Amino acid sequence: MAGEVSAAVPAQRIAVIGGGPGGLYAAALLKRLDPGREITVWERNAPDDTFGFGVVLSDETLGGIEHADPAVYAALQDEFVRWDDIDIVHRGLRHTSGGHGFAALGRRRLLEILQSRCRGLGVDLRFRTEAPPAAELSASYDLVVAADGVNSRTRAAHADAFGPHIEEHRNRYIWLAADFAFDAFRFEIAETGHGVMQLHGYPFDAERSTVIVEMREEVWRAAGFADADVRDSIDTCAKIFADALGGRGLTSNNSAWLTFRTVVNDRWSHGNVVLIGDAAHTAHFSIGSGTKLAVEDALALAACLHEHPTTEAALKEYEAERRPVVASTQRAARASLAWFEELGRYLDQPPRQFAFNLLTRSRRVTHDNLRLRDPGFTESVEREFGCPEGTPPMFTPFRLRGLALRNRVVVSPMDMYSAVDGVPGDFHLVHLGARALGGAGLVMTEMVCVSPEGRITPGCAGLYTDEQAAAWTRIADFVHAQSPGTGIGLQLGHSGRKGSTRLMWEGMDEPLPDPDANWPVVAPSALRYKPDNQLPRELSLPELAAIRQEFTAAARRAARAGFDLLELHCAHGYLLSSFLSPLTNRRTDAYGGSPEARLKFPLEVFDAVREVWPEDRPMTVRISATDWAEGGLDGDDAVAVARAFAAHGADAIDVSTGQVVAEERPAYGRSYQVPYADRIRNEAGVPVIAVGAISSWDDVNSLVLAGRTDLCALGRPHLYDPHWTLHAAAEQGYAGPGAVWPAPYRAGSRRPQTGRLDAPKPRLVLPS
């Protein structure tokens, strides 16, 4: 690219490619900040050409506009239609949730307001004019703002610099309009002979509404939309959703059936060219974020150029500021998009739970949000779910066989690497005892190994000697005596090829530094975990039989020690997990090859353990629901694995992910593993334990009440606060049987007072 970033002066000649809301608002702000700037906007379409109909803006975005440009804010205020309710209509029932606070206006009117503001400030607007290439503009302008949308030519021309990643999704949708105003944001589900379809509708002025019809690709084809012209498609949609539309028709605005594409870029600027809005990133329309993100990009870009002495510094800060916000929004949008793609799995939920599930699909709206916005609606969902009066969902009881859990919180298994010769000591007593006193319904041990060779590290605990069994009995007895009502579970496993490594804080998964201290490792196939790890020995059939016996011997000891639940560890690349994955199991005998053959040994171990484990005590299985690696296990496989274990008597599936191969590429984020648990629960029909970056009691309430999980396992929060569950009860004002404070701690059961937290200052404030 010819242009170079100014090293000494801020941008004075600015070219904007694209006359949508983001480009226009950026031009207006940049001109207002410095009237001496020469700013030109190129837009290849006419001033009144636009796609879609209505635009929804959040109060947060409007607040930013109000502080940065009161004139634009005042013009918008005069145009907005506002409403508070969301209606969910499914199987003839309508559920309404209020208190949400929406503001919308027509997209064409928004463009008129921004065009007028630009003209009033002296911005040069060039409509029906194709912008010169960004490389050409960058040579004669100090800054080029590429606001040229999801099909950005700028991004495509310089893909090597921006590093775009574009993912096309599975649903088809079409933007339409109705000639009346809905009185709420309406979601309506239609179960047709071709499959499920959904309508998203909202008003954008006093007399019109946006209507989006969406469905899976296979439903779209089965219904004949692939072969129909647009007018016939529109008429068919109007008939399918006649009740929602009151028998009225639908209108088009250059409408076409589309598939949504998520756009992510490695970099947002190159030289003096910067991407904003859909050119830089997209987020699914179901959370109404496209225009919002573009406007907020414009605000941040203008502010950074105002605050920094050079364009180079400003563009760097703009991306640093906006990228985390956009990434968070895209995670929420992906969750919402995926929910609608998989809508069919939730159709048979109880009606109020279905509505709550839809409302909380993106995780931006939570149980606590809804309780504040519409307590009546939230209480009706809780009653249908079975929450006793005044009881948050997380404190409702749950039963697995003969084990009654007083709440839905699990202390996740966490390796402590603090045993001596496999014997748990005082540290384990205090660690597990403290978390049992802290109120969780179920406290899980770390992975307890079935043999010395099955340990991960020299500090890992075992259950292959009577001395170890006696130590575990001491811990289980303490939990039962001092925290009656809390269950204690044992996670049983074998390290496989990931054994004989250092303690976590000395180098996780790294081989022991002393060669003489290493022990031989085994696996289904002779494949190293990492290049520096040992080459494992492929297990022979007699060795497989011996390991099964080690598991059953440990299970017998666990039963005698008094554990309430036993979990078989078939995740994270340890021995049983490595049988399941095609990336780690290359056997050619009866224990390798097909998915059924790879399941054979883990199921044999499960059956052997279940046979010796007391009938009234539950067994769970932890699995990695995806390997996060090409060619490995994925969500479809996870459902099949869960069904197989459930058919053999597993009472619940503990759903984790990854750690199977070193080259994995996880998609981290809040509650990032929960969708896998959700899918298993609602497709395989087996209870699940969800794990993975669940960090707040509000998350637990939301996930349980929405029917995405039965139990929530939290690890790091319980390291931060051993009394996390009791504190969650205190913060919610709950003092029932689901969270019982030990008598010596009752004086601390009320939440301490805190100081005032001031609200953040506006991002950009300019004089009127």
Return the CATH number at 549.
3.20.20.70
Residue ending a domain, among 694, 710, 732, is: 694
In a domain, residue 716? The reply is no
- Per-residue pLDDT of 341-358, as tens digits, reads 999 999 999 999 999 999
C-alpha 476/C-alpha 470 separation (Å) is 10
Query: Are 288 and 408 within one domain?
Result: no
264: domain range?
13-343
Q: What is the model's pLDDT at position 758?
A: 64
Does 323 lie in the same domain as 443?
Answer: no
What is the structure's pLDDT at 53? 84
From residue 677, how far is each of 429, 627, 689, 691, 710 by CA, in Å?
31, 15, 7, 8, 9
Claim to verify: residue 272 and residue 417 sit in the same structural domain? no
Q: Residue 4 has what pLDDT?
A: 44
Place of tokens 């179920």: 442
The overall pTM is greater than 0.85: yes
522 and 440 co-located in one domain: yes
Domain count, the chain: 2
- How far apart, in whole angstroms, are the C-alpha atoms of residue 69 and residue 65? 6
- The residue type found at 474 is R
Residue 410 and residue 290 share a domain = no
Determine, yes or no, domain membership for 510. Answer: yes
**275 within some domain:** yes
**Per-residue pLDDT tens over the stretch 233-247:** 999 999 999 999 999
Which pLDDT does position 756 carry in this prediction? 63
Q: What is the DSSP string of 319-370?
A: HHHHHHHHHHHHHHHHHHHHHHHTGGGGTTS-HHHHHHHHHTTTSSS-HHHH
CB 181 within 8 A of CB 206: yes
Q: Would you state the pLDDT for residue 68?
A: 80
Do residue 144 and residue 37 come from a single domain?
yes
Is 558 domain-assigned? Answer: yes
Residues 447 and 509 grouped into a single domain: yes
DSSP state of 531: T
- 453 and 306 assigned to the same domain: no
Q: State the Cα–Cα distance between residues 184 and 85, nearest whole angstrom.
A: 5
- What is the mean pLDDT for each group of 10 consecutive residues in the chain (768 residues)? 46 93 96 96 88 77 81 87 94 95 90 96 96 96 97 97 96 96 96 97 93 97 96 96 96 92 97 97 88 93 95 96 94 94 96 97 93 96 96 98 98 96 97 97 98 97 98 98 96 97 90 90 97 95 98 98 98 98 97 98 98 98 97 96 98 97 90 95 97 94 98 97 96 95 88 66 65
Torsion of CA 170, 685, 664, 601, to 10 degrees: -130
The verdict on residue 357 lying in a domain is: no
- DSSP type of residue 459: T
Q: Are residues 324 and 419 in the same domain?
A: no
Residue 370 domain-assigned?
no
What CATH number should be reported for the domain holding residue 32?
A: 3.50.50.60
Whether 142 is in a domain gets the answer yes
Report the pLDDT value the prediction gives residue 179, as an integer from 0 to 100.
Answer: 95
Task: Looking at the structure, tell me whether residues 310 and 421 fall in a common domain.
Answer: no
Query: What is the rounded CA–CA span in Å between residue 448 and residue 476?
Result: 14
Tell me, yes or no, whether 291 and 436 share the same domain: no
Q: Last residue of some domain: 659, 694, 729?
A: 694
Structure tokens at 6: 């100014």
Residues tagged active-site: 574
pLDDT at 750: 81
Give the SS3 label for residue 314: helix
The 8 Å CB, 24+ separation contacts for 525-534 are: 525/578, 525/584, 525/585, 525/586, 525/587, 525/592, 527/497, 527/584, 527/586, 528/497, 529/497, 529/498, 529/573, 529/661, 529/662, 530/662, 533/497, 533/498, 533/501, 533/509, 534/497, 534/500
Residue 358 belongs to a domain: no
**Exposed e or buried b for every residue in 718-733, given b needs 16+ CB within 10 A?**
beeebbbbbbbbbebe
- Residues 328, 430: one domain? no
For residue 7, what pLDDT is reported? 41
Q: What is the pLDDT of residue 5?
A: 44
354 φ, ψ (degrees, to nearest 5): -60, -45
The confidence score (pLDDT) of residue 460 equals 97
